[in-house]
Amino acid sequence: MSEINTLAFTKMFLHLAKYPELAVNGILLGVRSNSANDEADSSYLNFVDCIPLFHGVLSLSPMLEIALSQIDAYCSTRNLTIAGYYHANENYSDPNPNFTALRIMEKIKENNPNAVLLMIDNTLVDLNENDRFYNVFTLTDKTWKNVNETHIVNDESRLSALSLVKRNQHRQIIDFDNHLDSISNDWRNPNIRNELNATSF
């Protein structure tokens, strides 16, 4: 089971909107589950933030290692964990996870076996028609399994995402590539959070 909050959903969408012609990927952060709490289902994922990673070429490993090490460090002080990975292919009609997605998911699952893939379906990105633009997959022994029915998206997310794109916030979102191009670009994207807080429904 998994759910996603407005902030994570919106940031992911803004990243797609910034680079409509390219493959993009990124990380979803979840609240770290307290393993001492027997009542909570430790495999329940609650996505609360999103760190956009790269655009264009997604299959080179050195900067991925750098990004994951920084995101891990960021998570450790905030009771967060890398809980998901999203991936959009360059080709409009190709909604299938490829080898790069497989490799990155396997790497993420080393630290969090419950992590899932949010595979973007480019044909669903019209949020006036659809409430979500991706399919959720688990990975077991190199086999993907669609678990859409167990993923919850709240109503506000769709509206927020549309609203921020209308306000051209997709031009402001920073991914890890942007950060490496110029480190004053902050991959934590505090501005987006502020924009969302200024939005009300």
Distance CA 133, CA 123 (A): 8
Distance CA 129, CA 186 (A): 32
66 forms part of the interface with other proteins (CB under 8 A): yes
Of positions 41, 42, 43, 57, contacts other proteins by CB under 8 A: 57
C-alpha distances (whole Å) from 197 to each of 73, 181, 191, 193 are: 26, 28, 10, 6
DSSP 172: T
91 forms part of the interface with other proteins (CB under 8 A): yes
Of positions 3, 31, 32, 72, contacts other proteins by CB under 8 A: 72
Residue environment code for 89-104, b if the CB has 16+ CB neighbours within 10 A, otherwise e: beeeeebebeebbeeb
Binders in 131-150 for other proteins, by CB under 8 A: none
79 forms part of the interface with other proteins (CB under 8 A): no
Q: In this chain, which stretch among 32-40, 93-101, 115-123, 193-201 interacts with other proteins, using CB under 8 A? A: 93-101
Question: 3-state DSSP call for residue 55?
Answer: strand
Q: In this chain, which stretch among 2-10, 37-45, 97-105, 138-146 interacts with other proteins, using CB under 8 A? A: 97-105
C-alpha distances (whole Å) from 178 to each of 39, 149, 153, 188 are: 41, 34, 28, 12
Give the nearest distance from C-beta 172 to other proteins in angstroms.
Answer: 13
Distance CA 139, CA 150 (A): 15
Binders in 11-50 for other proteins, by CB under 8 A: 20-21
Measured from the CB atom, the residue of 4 and 125 that comes closer to other proteins is: 125
Helix (H) and strand (E) counts in the chain: 6, 8
60 forms part of the interface with other proteins (CB under 8 A): yes
Q: Which residues bind other proteins (CB under 8 A)?
A: 20-21, 56-57, 59-63, 65-66, 69-70, 72-74, 76-77, 90-94, 98-100, 171, 180, 182-184, 186, 188
